[in-house]
Amino acid sequence: MAATGGKLMHAVQYEAYGGGAAALKHVDVPIPIPKKGELLVKLEAASINPIDWKIQKGVIWPFLPRKFPFRPVTDVAGEVVEVGSGVDFKPGDKVVSFLSGSGGGFAEYAVASASKTAKRPAEVSAVEAAGLPVAGVTALQTLKSAGISFGSGGSEKAANILVTAASGGVGLYAVQLAKLGNCHVTATCGARNLELVKNVGADEVLDYKTPGGAALESPSGKKYDAVIHCTTGIPWSTFEPNLAESGKVIDITPNVTAFLTAAIKKITFSKKQLVPLLVIPKREDVEFLVGLVKEGKLKTVVDSRHPLSQAEAAWAKSIDGHATGKVVVEIGSREAE
């Protein structure tokens, strides 16, 4: 039997769709055992993404949750304590993992796939790393989809990029990564976050509640080669006049209208395109981002930290929709710090 076999851990789960933070229940459950290709990670931090509570709302029913009760949250960091066969990790390794649709991050331990886990150097804290798998990788893959490269010196041509909702989890990473990719960055956010977004690298920042911000107009008159669209409720008619001749809007939260618009733009051979993007975190992308954090080139902006015992507060904070950066739950010994 594994060293943790038969032992219990504290976890937070919900038993049905709906209910928000009030539906989260604190339970003691058996510590899971890793199988082939898996690791058991003693968790130190977990970060919440909007998709986590949207799953609770039933937005992607009937795909997730696969069954109830369901332990939410996919983005975690911690220390390997046990390994299954066929993995290139060992107990004691510090790691960051994406737990995929199975969730499990609201707990003291979680089983992670080795293929979705990256080693975490001592220079990168658990809190910094936990923000990376969904939000960081979404920002990275979106910019790559826009044709931005991240080799030496970034893209040869300095692309003009607009990032909407730039003070959110994905947006703050997108601004920083776009600058690393040699882009001119215009960003939108609320008035209280204008300085923060400028400080992480944006060249121009718009208050989305002002007429110019609502119209997405670049203060310097630039047309956008790509829009990293991190919010909802902005119609194509607002984007279109602001795009360069072959500009594209890459939508990370596409709805039915977005997919229809994308299809119409394709079949009419429009040079201006709407690209719905569905991201699945890859190990190599997480490793790349961890390296940037280690080098001091990328930072995780943390809105708030909560102990696992107060997971409800973290859940409610994320649902509220006004978090600046990442909402993080700290787990284990770190709860007492």
Quote the pLDDT of residue 190: 96
> If pLDDT is split at 50, 70 and 90, which confidence band does 58 have?
very high
What element of type H or E holds 4?
none
- Fold (CATH) for 8-131+300-336: Quinone Oxidoreductase; Chain A, domain 1 (3.90.180)
What confidence tens digit (pLDDT) does each residue in 162-183 have?
Answer: 999 999 999 999 999 999 999 9
pTM of the model: 0.93
Pick from 57-61, 92-96, 178-182, 305-309: least confident: 57-61
Assess contact for 49 and 335: CB atoms under 8 A. Answer: no
Q: Where are the domains of the chain?
A: 8-131+300-336, 135-276
**Is the pLDDT score of 336 beyond 50?**
no
Mean pLDDT for the chain overall: 92
Structural contact between residues 12 and 26, judged by C-beta atoms closer than 8 angstroms: yes
The CATH number assigned to the domain with range 135-276 reads: 3.40.50.720
Query: How many beta carbons lie within 10 A of that of residue 282, not counting itself?
Result: 17
Write the CA distances from 242 to 3, 92, 122, 238, 332, integer angstroms: 59, 51, 43, 8, 48
Q: How confident is the model at residue 96 (pLDDT cuts 50, 70, 90)?
A: very high
H helical segments located in the chain: 50-57, 126-130, 137-145, 169-180, 194-199, 211-214, 236-239, 256-267, 283-294, 311-320
Q: Answer whether 295's CB lies under 8 Å from 128's CB.
A: no
